[in-house]
Structure 1
Amino acid sequence: MGQAVESDLVERLLDGEHRALARVITKIESQSPGYRDIVSEIHAHTGHASVVGITGSPGAGKSTLVDKLAKFYRDQGETVGVIAVDPSSPYTGGAVLGDRIRMASNVGDMDVFFRSMSARGQLGGLSTATADAVKALDAFGKDRIIIETVGAGQNEVDVVKTADTVVVLVQPGSGDDVQMLKAGILEIGDVFVVNKADMEGASRTVAELEEMIHLRDDPRAKLDMGHHGAEAMGDHHGHGEHTDDDQDDEPEPDPVWTPQVVETIATTGEGIDELVETLSDHYTYLAESGELDEKARQRAAEEIRQLLRSDVNRLLERELDDRGGIDDFASAVVDKETDPYAVTEDVLEPLRECLEDRDD
């Protein structure tokens, strides 16, 4: 595909053509020639959508919850883009997980764009591909973008971290889910949803989550700040409130978000309105505290690092092939003709010399 054709595709995407959007995401996922030029062109048109990442163990009801969330936003007149990510699946393009069934409340609604994405052998690259797909949806003009992961492993965690707000779904009475949270995903959750709240053990699961959040947070975040996380900012405008005269001279503490626990029954839609309100509270906190801009900077820095690692690795693989391949070096190391450090220095020397010559 030539530059002119790529620019035409971008133009059609920016004009709101769904077919162009689908083609762009396919190119991003498959890393087709020219996809980077496309992402570069649309970059200036991004930054308007709010992005929510939803993760949790299989069976927690993520797909049903995403469906109901999308319907809620559509009922408010907002457009929605959904990316369902399965790092383990070799398939791509949509229908593998029964997309139309999973988004049953939004069938036939052109303002809800749903797309499945898979790893396609991209070790560590799925988060970058997802972030690029989010950019395509953002540039297209979607108001709300939801990233849904199939599971809750490290790859999925890396993916949802590309979102503004991370929602973690937990199933009632599931000791495994709580243990999973203790293993690390608790650290990235902004909102925790106990779905299927009509099941036995829901109240206990809520209590366990609230206790874990209490233990996780620093002392300032452990203060009693009420039910809604936005109250951790003092009021909805991010300004603290003075309660005693003797505190008037003390500087106001920086706003702190206390992760919230929300109960839902996604199959009936119960609790969705409270979840949407909590997501809105968190976005308000991000915007008014400066965290939204800081998160964007952190994501950009990580994206640059990821691309550099990927591209440099590709260059080094080519250098290894030009020198006979990794197997020859490995055999030489095993035969004690050299060692891994010496091989590394030897292979990196041309690159190092190039960079040093540029600095001179």
Structure 2
Amino acid sequence: MDKLIKNLLQGSKKDCARAISIVENRSKGYERLLKEILPYTGNSYIVGITGPPGVGKSTFTKEVVKEMIKDGYSIGIIAIDPTSHFTKGAILGDRIRMTELTSNNKVFIRSMGSRGSLGGTTNSILSVIKVLEAYGCDYIFIETVGVGQSEVDIVNISDTVAIVLMPGMGDDIQAIKAGIMEIADIFVINKADKDGVSKTKTEIENMLSFKNDWEFRPKVSLAISNKGEGINEAIDNIKSHKLFLENTNKLMNKKAMRDYKEMDDFVHIKLEEMLNKVYKQINIQEKIQQTEGSTLDIYTMAEDVIQSLKK
């Protein structure tokens, strides 16, 4: 573990990957690892990339990263892919689309399975962010699954949330407006060479106009990611929001929110471990099977579990 941590802090890709696997799977020593790298964390800027499936989030993310590494930034990418029902691992679609970045020493890419999380992210993502911060990433991009309205956890993780859309969505924008539309700090209309781009931009601007007390009104830009067009404007918009957060001290609030969420996640992990131990001790599944067919007093059974937790 000492060697792993030392190599991670010195920028070893191999040991960064190993460290991520340890914290993602909660393997032996994961708590020690996180505690020892803690002094070297907190300096990365987190950007969440979200939006409906098919809008080109991976291509957009790839092009943004390609431009930013030209300026000397070290970048981490966490691509949240749907979880395979067979292997329980990530399907790795985003990782495949970003192949050309994998050999760059300035970029670290990790695909992670959503593992059934309805919020579009994965439960261990905050610990993975800590590892990438210790590894030395200036920016960390998190690309979520792209499932629509349930994809709102990203706002509790990111400093800037970029929502990627595309022309011709029409009613789809209205359908998702009540969910992910309100969490955006910037909007990017990708595939802007398609018909209907002006209409889509107008719809978003009109939606934003319903609120007139913006501290930072989300900027809307156009991009054709597969041609590398509009990428620099999107980067400028991300940096504009970053500057706003820094000047208003809201960036510290974002980091505090992440710390609280990570602490809360750890508490729930420990409670889950305790609960599983109680279930095993009182043979909960066996009791339920024995009473199958009769009236099962699940409420009394639940009280028994709670009392066992208190002991």
Taking structure 1 as the reference length, the TM-score comes to 0.78
1:276 matched to 2:231: no
Code of the residue aligned with 1:343 in structure 2: it is M
Task: Specify whether residues 136 and 156 from structure 1 end up closer, same or farther in structure 2 by C-alpha distance, changes over 3 A only.
Answer: farther
Which residue of structure 2 aligns with residue 73 of structure 1? 68
Deviates further, 303-312 or 192-201: 303-312
Code of the residue aligned with 1:52 in structure 2: it is V
- Tell me the CA shift for residue 328 of structure 1: 1.8
Give the whole-Å Cα distance in 2 for the aligned partners of 1:189 and 1:162. Answer: 13
Code of the residue aligned with 2:95 in structure 1: it is D
Give the whole-Å Cα distance in 1 for the aligned partners of 2:170 and 2:94. Answer: 29
Give the whole-Å Cα distance in 2 for the aligned partners of 1:264 and 1:121. Answer: 31
Percent of aligned pairs sharing the same letter: 35
Task: Specify whether residues 127 and 159 from structure 1 end up closer, same or farther in structure 2 by C-alpha distance, changes over 3 A only.
Answer: farther
The alignment partner of 1:285 has SS state of helix
Which protein shows a greater Rg? 1
The alignment partner of 1:133 has SS state of helix
Gaps of 5+ in 2: none
Give the whole-Å Cα distance in 1 for the aligned partners of 2:154 and 2:270. Answer: 20
Which residue of structure 2 aligns with residue 110 of structure 1? 105
- Tell me the CA shift for residue 48 of structure 1: 0.9
Gaps of 5+ in 1: 1-5, 222-255, 355-360
CA contact (8 A) 1:93 1:115 kept: no
Code of the residue aligned with 2:135 in structure 1: it is F
Superposed CA deviations along residues 78-99 of structure 1, whole A, max 9, x for unmatched, are 1111110114335588883273
1:63 matched to 2:22: no
Which residue of structure 2 aligns with residue 235 of structure 1? none
- Tell me the CA shift for residue 294 of structure 1: 1.0
CA contact (8 A) 1:26 1:93 kept: no
- Tell me the CA shift for residue 177 of structure 1: 3.7
Which residue of structure 2 aligns with residue 321 of structure 1? 280
1:349 matched to 2:307: yes
- Tell me the CA shift for residue 9 of structure 1: 0.6
CA contact (8 A) 1:333 1:339 kept: no
1:43 matched to 2:38: yes
Code of the residue aligned with 2:201 in structure 1: it is V
Q: Could you tell me which of 200, 207, 213 is aligned with 1:220?
A: 213
CA contact (8 A) 2:154 2:161 kept: no
Q: Could you tell me which of 266, 274, 286 is aligned with 1:307?
A: 266
Taking structure 2 as the reference length, the TM-score comes to 0.89
1:33 matched to 2:38: no
- Mapping of residues 127-138 of structure 1, within 5 Å: 127-138=122-133
Give the whole-Å Cα distance in 1 for the aligned partners of 2:268 and 2:146. Answer: 26
CA contact (8 A) 1:169 1:193 kept: yes
Superposed CA deviations along residues 256-291 of structure 1, whole A, max 9, x for unmatched, are 111121111111121111111110010111111121
- Tell me the CA shift for residue 213 of structure 1: 2.1
Code of the residue aligned with 1:347 in structure 2: it is V
Q: Could you tell me which of 194, 197, 213 is aligned with 1:199?
A: 194
CA contact (8 A) 1:57 1:177 kept: no
Give the whole-Å Cα distance in 1 for the aligned partners of 2:35 and 2:149. Answer: 28
Code of the residue aligned with 1:163 in structure 2: it is S
- Tell me the CA shift for residue 152 of structure 1: 3.1
Give the whole-Å Cα distance in 2 for the aligned partners of 1:87 and 1:310. Answer: 22
Deviates further, 328-337 or 270-279: 328-337
Give the whole-Å Cα distance in 2 for the aligned partners of 1:275 and 1:260. Answer: 9
Give the whole-Å Cα distance in 2 for the aligned partners of 1:70 and 1:324. Answer: 51
Task: Specify whether residues 37 and 124 from structure 1 end up closer, same or farther in structure 2 by C-alpha distance, changes over 3 A only.
Answer: farther
Give the whole-Å Cα distance in 2 for the aligned partners of 1:48 and 1:333. Answer: 55
Which residue of structure 1 aligns with residue 179 of structure 2? 184
Code of the residue aligned with 1:205 in structure 2: it is T
Task: Specify whether residues 326 and 214 from structure 1 end up closer, same or farther in structure 2 by C-alpha distance, changes over 3 A only.
Answer: farther
User: Number of residue pairs matched?
Assistant: 310
CA contact (8 A) 2:120 2:150 kept: no
Task: Specify whether residues 98 and 344 from structure 1 end up closer, same or farther in structure 2 by C-alpha distance, changes over 3 A only.
Answer: closer
Which residue of structure 2 aligns with residue 99 of structure 1? 95
The alignment partner of 1:267 has SS state of helix
Task: Specify whether residues 303 and 101 from structure 1 end up closer, same or farther in structure 2 by C-alpha distance, changes over 3 A only.
Answer: closer
Give the whole-Å Cα distance in 1 for the aligned partners of 2:161 and 2:286. Answer: 43
CA contact (8 A) 1:147 1:160 kept: no
Task: Specify whether residues 220 and 99 from structure 1 end up closer, same or farther in structure 2 by C-alpha distance, changes over 3 A only.
Answer: closer
Query: Which structure ranks higher in relative contact order (CA pairs < 8 Å, sequence separation ≥ 6)?
Result: 2
CA contact (8 A) 2:148 2:176 kept: no
Q: Could you tell me which of 10, 14, 33 is aligned with 2:9?
A: 14
CA contact (8 A) 1:87 1:155 kept: no
